[in-house]
Amino acid sequence: MTPPSRKALVPFVSVQHMMNLVLHIGVEQVLRDLAVEIEADFLRWEQFDKTPRVASHSDVGVIELMPTADADLYGFKYVNGHPKNMKEGLQTVTAFGLLADVHTGYPVLLSEMTLLTALRTAAMSALAARHLAPENATTMAVIGNGAQSEFQCLAFKAVCGITTVRLYDIDAGATEKCARNLVGHGLTVIPCTTPEQALEGAQIITTVTADKKNQTILTDNMVGSGVHINAIGGDCPGKTELHADILRRSTIFVEYPPQTRIEGEIQQLPADHPVVELWQVMASQTKGRTSTAEITLFDSVGFAIEDFSALRYIRDRIKGTPYYVDLDMLADPDDPRDLFGMLHRSA
Amino acid sequence: MTPPSRKALVPFVSVQHMMNLVLHIGVEQVLRDLAVEIEADFLRWEQFDKTPRVASHSDVGVIELMPTADADLYGFKYVNGHPKNMKEGLQTVTAFGLLADVHTGYPVLLSEMTLLTALRTAAMSALAARHLAPENATTMAVIGNGAQSEFQCLAFKAVCGITTVRLYDIDAGATEKCARNLVGHGLTVIPCTTPEQALEGAQIITTVTADKKNQTILTDNMVGSGVHINAIGGDCPGKTELHADILRRSTIFVEYPPQTRIEGEIQQLPADHPVVELWQVMASQTKGRTSTAEITLFDSVGFAIEDFSALRYIRDRIKGTPYYVDLDMLADPDDPRDLFGMLHRSA
């Protein structure tokens, strides 16, 4: 039996490979790199084929496909969101993704994306904050200390120069876990016992909770003027974190309006409520923050281009490393019309 | 370093595994089994979450995602269609697919689907013909003798009792290849040099060509009364095989109208032209063929439920076999909130 040809093989990055690669490069360096990659793609926003993600909802969660493409590369991510998973010892979010060559339709990378999504989400948040947060912000409150929280803290350190994080979770064990994991990473970490305490002195507020319902993690009176809010957790229909009054006081920045209107905090607002597209801020086509008193809000839901950027980064960085294996995923008969002959000759 | 737990591992069926499994079961038995699986799912059509596939078009081809779900399982297929690939020594169509548990969002199977798509497409065609073709049909014309053609011939033998196939392709080499591959499979194979010759005495006409444009593989005067047409190749916008006059003389059966209106032969007709949903014929909610003179046309484009059925079949059949490997595709920290800790402890 002859082995499959190069064309039939797709590089696969497992979870273990991804961990090895990230530790090899360094977590903060990966976060900085991803912010650079995402910004580069946001700056050429109009070159992408864009669509809201395709969601399949059940009573307990959602499974989504997030495709996008430029003229050369096609990418998509499979991702689930099952908040009840945690109690069963499973991840709330797992993901994997694929890049393919637009010219042939052949996949060129398959990769785990549970870790990569956490990294790219944090890099995206920090990138948005670099454009929107008050100048010289040093302190971030983090409400929700689950699987995403440490990545958020390190991204804001690496990309925005945050030096202090103030942690709060309804589960004190989560806060303790986050604080413990951040030891030795050069951040001043302050565990808090109330959300109000966490917000004290914070110029940036990150909300990153997981419950799939309309919550009020922040009420209007908790949010002072001039802060930047990085709202991560409200990312599917019926799942929000902020009181609508906060939204009405804020200038709202989004990734891709057709998706955010359905999934983001702004699902609480009329469909014509004004929002600013983040890529236009990056491209200097419109303004970001315009005053020190303004409340800026990044209503983050996660968009396919961010995954595309992250997958392309991984594809480039695994070259020449041992951090992938080749999968025999594509049929490759000698004569492309002869799929049946390939099957029979394999006997 | 501890290996990942069971929960983090996803069974993967490579091309080689698929070939081994199919040969182990027997090609015709697989085709019969797939027809049974697809029919079982079509009979519970209303239980599925359905959406037209999500297509990303370029000048040279298309990349599509085809998701569907029932209450317990979610499935999707990645598939490309690049007619120009053949000249470059590549497959026109490659595919892979995934099944996941709706309750957790965790993938439970990743599989090659280039071969599996050829098998399920043929099984679907034969299943439709079993409901629509003239009784006691024995002869099928096959126009287009590329990668799909042998699978079509064997499915119609295994599922519908076809004994004779009459082959035609504009490339005589393709016909020769198809005829050679069918030697020893119990079919009378008649290579033809014109489409007209191929149609002589055929009760079933299969068109399965690959060019991405509006072709006229069959003109109206070539199609006599009473035949069943199995139109496979017209399966994306701007890609059709039949003259519109044939459509107007036929009773047209489709898989999922919202998708077929965009992609099938009926893209040539007004959007309100009557079509019959095949699942309703199977469920005896409406009639299939009503007279011996009627021309029945299965305007096949391929629907996500067929892939779902095929993936579920593979998941069931690989149990206890050596025809898969486990992939470390899902992050599985001891504490599901502690993704970051898992990363750091892997160092």
Question: Residue A55: beta bridge partners?
Answer: A64
The span from the first CA to the last CA of chain A, in angstroms, equals: 9
Q: How confident is the model at residue A212 (pLDDT cuts 50, 70, 90)?
A: low
State how far the Cα of B189 lies from the Cα of B164, in Å rounded to an integer. 6
pLDDT, tens digit, 9 for 90 and up, residues A91-116: 888 999 999 999 999 999 999 999 99
Question: Residue B267: beta bridge partners?
Answer: none
Q: Kindly determine whether residue B15 and residue A339, on different chains, have CB atoms separated by under 8 Å.
A: no
pLDDT score, position A1? 47
Q: What ipTM was assigned to the predicted interfaces of this complex?
A: 0.91
pLDDT, tens digit, 9 for 90 and up, residues A151-203: 999 999 999 999 999 999 999 999 999 999 999 999 999 999 999 999 999 99
Which of B1, B49, B104 minimises the CB distance to A56? Answer: B49
Nearest-neighbour CA in chain A from B288: distance (Å): 31
CA angle (B347 as vertex; B345, A167 as ends), nearest 5: 45
Q: Kindly determine whether residue A85 and residue B343, on different chains, have CB atoms separated by under 8 Å.
A: no
Q: Kindly determine whether residue A337 and residue B86, on different chains, have CB atoms separated by under 8 Å.
A: yes
Given the residues B33, B41, B235, B299, the one annotated as active site: B235
User: Quick check: A132 and A195 in contact, CB under 8 A?
Assistant: no
- CATH number of the domain at B122-303, please? 3.40.50.720
For testing contact with chain B, the best of A94, A111, A334 (most B CBs within 10 A): A94
**Strand A325-328 relative to strand B295-299: parallel, antiparallel, unpaired?**
unpaired
Whether the pTM exceeds 0.90: the reply is: yes
Kindly report the number of other CB atoms within 10 A of residue A194's CB atom: 9
3 state SS for chain A? CCCCCHHHEEEEECHHHHHHHHHHHCHHHHHHHHHHHHHHHHCCHHHCECCCCEEEECCCCEEEEEEEECCCEEEEEEEEECHHHHHHCCCCCCEEEEEEECCCCCEEEEEECHHHHHHHHHHHHHHHHHHHCCCCCCEEEEECCCCCHHHHHHHHHHHHCCCEEEEECCCHHHHHHHHHHHCCCCCEEEECCCHHHHHCCCCEEEECCCCCCEEEEECHHHCCCCCEEEECCCCECCEEEECHHHHHHEEEEECCHHHHHHHCHHHHCCCCCCCEEHHHHHCCCCCCCCCCCCEEEEECCCCHHHHHHHHHHHHHHHCCCCCCEEEECCCCCCCCCCHHHHHHHCC
pLDDT score, position A2? 55
Angle between the N-to-C axes of helices B304-318 and B15-25, in degrees from 0 to 180, rounded to the nearest 10: 80
Which of B100, B335, B344 minimises the CB distance to A63? Answer: B100
Query: Which chain A residue lies closest to B94 (C-alpha atoms)?
Result: A330
Given the residues A41, A169, A235, A307, the one annotated as active site: A235
C-alpha separations of B216 from B209, B240, B250, B302 in Å: 11, 7, 16, 21
For testing contact with chain B, the best of A104, A106, A151, A332 (most B CBs within 10 A): A104
Q: Kindly determine whether residue B58 and residue A71, on different chains, have CB atoms separated by under 8 Å.
A: yes
Q: Comparing A130-134, A289-293, B235-239, B321-325, which segment has the lowest mean pLDDT?
A: B235-239
Q: Kindly determine whether residue A63 and residue B69, on different chains, have CB atoms separated by under 8 Å.
A: yes
On the question of a common fold for A6-115+305-345 and A122-303, the answer reads: no
State how far the Cα of B111 lies from the Cα of B22, in Å rounded to an integer. 13
Q: Kindly determine whether residue B343 and residue A19, on different chains, have CB atoms separated by under 8 Å.
A: yes
Whole-number average pLDDT of chain B: 94
A327 contacts in B (CB within 8 Å)? 12, 14
pLDDT score, position B238? 83
Q: Residue with structure tokens 């969601």? A: A55
Q: How confident is the model at residue B217 (pLDDT cuts 50, 70, 90)?
A: confident
Query: Which chain B residue lies closest to A10 (C-alpha atoms)?
Result: B14
State how far the Cα of A124 lies from the Cα of A281, in Å rounded to an integer. 14
| pLDDT greater than 90 at residue B257 | yes
Q: Kindly determine whether residue A7 and residue B90, on different chains, have CB atoms separated by under 8 Å.
A: yes
Phi, psi of B185 (to 5 degrees): -105, 10
Helix extents (H) in B133-171? 149-160
Contacts of B70 (CB under 8 A, 6+ apart): B44, B47, B48, B49, B102, B308
pLDDT score, position B1? 47
Kindly report the number of other CB atoms within 10 A of residue B88's CB atom: 11
Query: Which chain B residue lies closest to A13 (C-alpha atoms)?
Result: B329
pLDDT, tens digit, 9 for 90 and up, residues B109-142: 999 999 999 999 999 999 999 999 999 999 999 9
pLDDT score, position A270? 95
Nearest-neighbour CA in chain B from A13: distance (Å): 8
A54 contacts in B (CB within 8 Å)? 51, 54, 65, 67
Q: Kindly determine whether residue B90 and residue A336, on different chains, have CB atoms separated by under 8 Å.
A: yes
State how far the Cα of B98 lies from the Cα of A171, in Å rounded to an integer. 35
| pLDDT greater than 80 at residue B36 | yes
| pLDDT greater than 60 at residue A323 | yes
pLDDT, tens digit, 9 for 90 and up, residues A233-282: 877 788 888 999 999 999 999 999 999 999 899 999 999 999 999 999 99
Q: Kindly determine whether residue B19 and residue A78, on different chains, have CB atoms separated by under 8 Å.
A: no
Nearest-neighbour CA in chain A from B182: distance (Å): 9
pLDDT score, position A320? 94
B1 contacts in A (CB within 8 Å)? 16
pLDDT, tens digit, 9 for 90 and up, residues B293-327: 999 999 999 999 999 999 999 999 999 999 999 99
Q: Is A184 exposed, middle or buried (0-12, 13-18, 19+ CB in 10 A)?
A: exposed
Which of A91, A104, A343 minimises the CB distance to B85? Answer: A104
Query: Which chain A residue lies closest to B110 (C-alpha atoms)?
Result: A329
* CATH topology classification for B6-115+305-345: ornithine cyclodeaminase, domain 1 (3.30.1780)
B235 is catalytic: yes
Phi, psi of B106 (to 5 degrees): -80, 130
State how far the Cα of A210 lies from the Cα of A145, in Å rounded to an integer. 10
Strands of B73-81's sheet, edge to edge?
B54-57, B62-69, B73-81, B95-101, B107-112, B9-13, B325-328
Strands annotated E in B106-254? 107-112, 139-143, 164-168, 188-191, 204-207, 214-218, 228-231, 240-242, 250-254
State how far the Cα of A213 lies from the Cα of A239, in Å rounded to an integer. 4
User: Quick check: A197 and A141 in contact, CB under 8 A?
Assistant: no
A174 contacts in B (CB within 8 Å)? 337
pLDDT score, position B64? 95
**Strand B250-254 relative to strand B240-242: parallel, antiparallel, unpaired?**
unpaired
Q: Comparing A312-321, A327-336, B66-75, B97-106, which segment has the lowest mean pLDDT?
A: A327-336
CB pairs under 8 A between A and B: 253
| pLDDT greater than 70 at residue B4 | no
B63 contacts in A (CB within 8 Å)? 67, 69, 74, 100, 102, 105
Domain ranges in chain A are 6-115+305-345, 122-303
Nearest-neighbour CA in chain B from A276: distance (Å): 26
